[in-house]
Structure 1
Amino acid sequence: MKTIIITGITLLTSFFSMLSPTKREETRIPVCHGGNDMSAMAADPAFQQLHKAPLPFTYTGAGEMIKFSTPDGQSANGFLLKSKKASNKWLLVYQEWWGLNDNIKQEAEKFYNDLSDVNVLAVDMYDGKVATEPAEAGKLMQGADKNRLTSIMKGAIAYAGPKAEFASVGWCFGGMLSLQSAMLEGKQAKGCVMYYGRPEQDVEKLKTLQTDVLGIFGSRDKGISPESVKQFEENMQKAGEKVTVKMYDAGHGFANPSNPVYDKEATADAYKLALGYLKDKLKA
């Protein structure tokens, strides 16, 4: 009996010793932005290392900060770029785990300039807090209460009004929120783009979607694995929903210019794909 136990331990030890350092690191990183594990994951050093501190940047473009009411009796903030013509088309933009920083404002303006007659609202999910270091962002994400996040999204949807038609886009933490937002929008949802955010895997929740989804991911992402994306595709099929997945040969955060894994070509192609999708969903 002792011989069997020792042999088993030896085999397990040999297996893990054969893994490359990179592979061993991947086994320690939890699935990105995962439901009840969000707090623990945000505190994980391996996960934090996937997000390098953003380069200093100051936004000097158009738009204004606004406040809107939330169902929990509080108020929330957003960065609004209002359509020059009266429009019921809205793009909700969801931040990375850093917060509503100047980079997100610039991304919001980019979509605003390239979309016709669409109101663009970048939603502040951290109530005014913005991080500049991974550990700091981890603490903010750890402290993000799920009920408060939902209330902020509902407040943004209500701010646009009952006649609004929505599409949403977000990156990383915001990629997850973009999908959650689409489910909250109900029949007002017209489109959803999620960049390397944690996919919802609950089939019953996915059945509530009233729009298809465009998912943009990286095959070398150590937080959102290709396996979890494949599972998402399968669960969307079970739910009777449509998802289009574009997988790039890139890592987590590849579309952020301040990230060391930034991939210029993949970013340009992904933006072209997302923009074409959004134009089609938000056309008059």
Structure 2
Amino acid sequence: MKKLPQLLILALMAVLMACGGSDNKKAQEESFEDLGDQAEFKEKHDEPKEMGETNFKGEMIQVSVDGGESANAYALMSEGSDKYLLVFHEWWGLNDYVKQEADRLSEELGEVNVIALDLYDGKIATVRDSAAKYMQSADKERIMNILGGAMKMIPSNASIGTIGWCFGGGWSLQASIEAGDRAEACVMYYGMPEKDLERLKKLESDVLFIFAEKDHWINQEVADEFAANMKKTDEELIVKSFDADHAFANPTQESYVEEAATEANSIALEFLKAELFEVEDDDEDGEDM
């Protein structure tokens, strides 16, 4: 009879450990889209500031998609170039800020075809509740088909780079995986990494992962897990962190930090140049600066 309390305690501990393990597993499996349910995450995003007068250099195009309607994209094409950069928008959608970034990247990279894909099929959010709704309702199968359409549009001998922020940071990585042996560079600004190791092993490009040290979601723990998984692949991961908060690179947000954004953008630009044009950069050592 004296052993009964001990057995009850052991049984209770087992139940508690199982519950804790379930919570940890749920946290690990949480997708970026799930964050749209969190009030704190929504409140961290300010409604975008007006950008003022814009003079975009690209044009809207259509991307053929198997089994569905064509997708929209904002493109700046460079005649004769076999270099492509796919750009992925934040949870707001393909808005003027992302088009401006596509213009900037086109100008700074030079002879590269820059294509910003619209993953929301024309929907653009101007308030956080709509952004959360669009992100959560985004059809992953549809997005994968859009990626497939983009890959078919790009010549088989091309070199492909990808870049994205927030919601688009994760899709930047997915696009690089889908690009196969054409993938040369992947840039992720505070986006959710792929946690399925077998899928991650299909990646054939190096990755630049940028995150904010004050970010409660895409944080050091996420970066460490990503780094551990990338060590099991054949590709290199470069991690850069900044003393800032989520969305620090977006000038339409209150969390924008000009100095950090300028440095991050410079690092991303040099990484893309080095990988797409095979230019050696002595500063890239795979460690935080």
Both proteins in one fold, TM over 0.5: yes
- Decide whether aligned partners of structure 1 residues 273 and 208 sit closer, same or farther in structure 2, where only a CA change above 3 A counts: same
Change (3 A) 1:171 1:229: same
Q: 1:128 aligns with which of 122, 125, 129?
A: 122
CA distance in 2: counterparts of 1:60 and 1:154, whole angstroms: 30
Contact 1:206 1:241 in 2 (8 A): no
Cα RMSD (Å): 2.2
Q: Which residue number in structure 2 is paired with residue 63 of structure 1? A: 58
Q: CA shift at 1:33, angstroms?
A: 10
- TM-score w.r.t. length of structure 2: 0.84
Is the CA contact (8 Å cut-off) linking 2:204 and 2:234 kept in structure 1?
A: no
Instruction: After TM superposition, give the deviation of residue 56 of structure 1 in Å.
Output: 1.6
Pick closer, same or farther for the CA change 1:34–1:156 going to 2, 3 Å. Answer: farther
The within-5 A match list for 1:23-172 is 34-35=30-31, 38=33, 40-57=34-51, 58-83=53-78, 85-172=79-166
* SS of residue matched to 2:195: coil
The correspondence of residues 199-238 of structure 1 with structure 2, limited to 5 A, is 199-238=193-232
CA distance in 2, matches of 1:186, 1:209: 7
Q: 1:160 to 1:31 in 2, by over 3 A?
A: farther
Instruction: Please give the per-residue CA displacement for 1:50-73, whole angstroms capped at 9, x wherever unaligned.
Output: 211111225322110000111233
Q: What SS does the aligned partner of 2:226 have? A: helix
Q: Which amino acid aligns with 2:240?
A: K
The answer to whether structure 1 residue 188 and structure 2 residue 182 are counterparts is yes
Aligned in 2, Cα 1:140/1:32: closer, same or farther, shift over 3 Å?
Answer: farther
Q: Is 1:255 the counterpart of 2:249 in the alignment?
A: yes
Shift of 1:102: 0.5
SS at match of 1:238: coil
Residue ranges of structure 2 left out of the alignment (5+ in a row):
10-25, 279-289
Deviation at 1:107, TM superposition (A): 0.3
Shift of residue 264, structure 1, vs aligned partner: 0.6
Identity of aligned residues (%): 43
Amino acid aligned to 2:225: Q
* Most deviating of 180-189 and 217-226: 217-226
Distance in 1 between residues matched to 2:248 and 2:185, nearest whole Å: 22
- Shifted more, 223-232 versus 53-62: the winner is 53-62
Report SS of the residue matched to 1:49. Answer: helix
C-alpha separation in 2, matches of 1:77 and 1:261: 29
Q: Tell me the distance in 2 between the aligned counterparts of 1:129 and 1:152.
A: 15
| CA–CA separation in structure 2 for the residues paired with 1:236 and 1:283 | 23
1:86 partner amino acid: G
Cα distance, 1:240 vs structure 2:
3.6
User: TM-score, length-normalised on structure 1?
Assistant: 0.85
CA distance in 2, matches of 1:31, 1:149: 24
Structure 1 CA distance, aligned partners of 2:98 and 2:183?
Answer: 22
Instruction: Tell me whether 249-258 or 157-166 shows the greater mean CA deviation.
Output: 157-166
- Name the amino acid aligned to 1:147: E
**2-structure distance, mates of 1:122, 1:258:** 18
Counterpart in 2 of 1:276? 270
Distance, in Å, in 1 between the alignment partners of 2:160 and 2:215 is: 28
Aligned residue for 2:110, secondary structure, equals coil
Distance 1:32 1:198 in 2: 11
**Deviation string, structure 1 residues 149-185 (Cα, Å, up to 9, x no partner):** 1111111121122222100000000100000000000
Number of aligned residues: 257
| 3-state SS of 2:181 partner | helix
Q: How far apart are 1:31 and its partner, in Å?
A: 6.8
Which amino acid in the other structure matches residue 72 of structure 1? G
Distance, in Å, in 2 between the alignment partners of 1:65 and 1:181 is: 20
Q: Go from structure 1 to structure 2 and tell me whether the alpha carbon gap of 1:222 and 1:201 turns closer, same or farther (over 3 Å shift).
A: same
Whether contact under 8 Å (2:93, 2:125) holds in the other structure is yes
